[in-house]
Amino acid sequence: MGAGFLVGVIGVLILSHATYSTIQYRALLKITEEEFSGPSIDVVIELIVSLALCLWAAMAAPGNFKSIHPQSEENRVVALPANLDFMIFNHRGKIFPLETELKLK
């Protein structure tokens, strides 16, 4: 649990507080028989702050990106899985040429 996860939890808590404040504000307007025209400015600020924190946490919490290139050393198979029943080597992908020799004119 890093800093990104903690920021995400704080963002969700602020979002839930903004939700609760809006519900409480609408209940107060029903009691005073006034019309709801929109949330108050403090709720809007809370929503913007919680959006920023949740977006930052979504980008920071998962960690570093891994390489997707097939020649990368990170993608090498260390060992075959124990259950070889689901490994399929005959598939339709072999009909495609390995190297495409397309030239643009």
Of 1-10, 19-28, 83-92, 93-102, which has the strongest mean pLDDT? 19-28
Give yes or no for residue 99 having a pLDDT over 70: no
Burial of 99 (0-12, 13-18, 19+ CB in 10 A): exposed
Condensed to tens digits (0 to 9), the pLDDT of residues 44-88 reads 999 999 999 999 998 887 767 777 776 767 666 655 666 667 777
Cβ atoms within 10 Å, residue 53: 20
Q: How many whole angstroms separate alpha carbon 86 and alpha carbon 84?
A: 6
CA 40 to chain centre: 28
Q: What is the gyration radius of the CA atoms in the chain, in angstroms?
A: 26
- Whole-Å CA distances, 52 to 8, 25, 28, 49, 101: 10, 24, 29, 5, 47
For a pLDDT cut of 90, what percent of the chain falls above it? 33
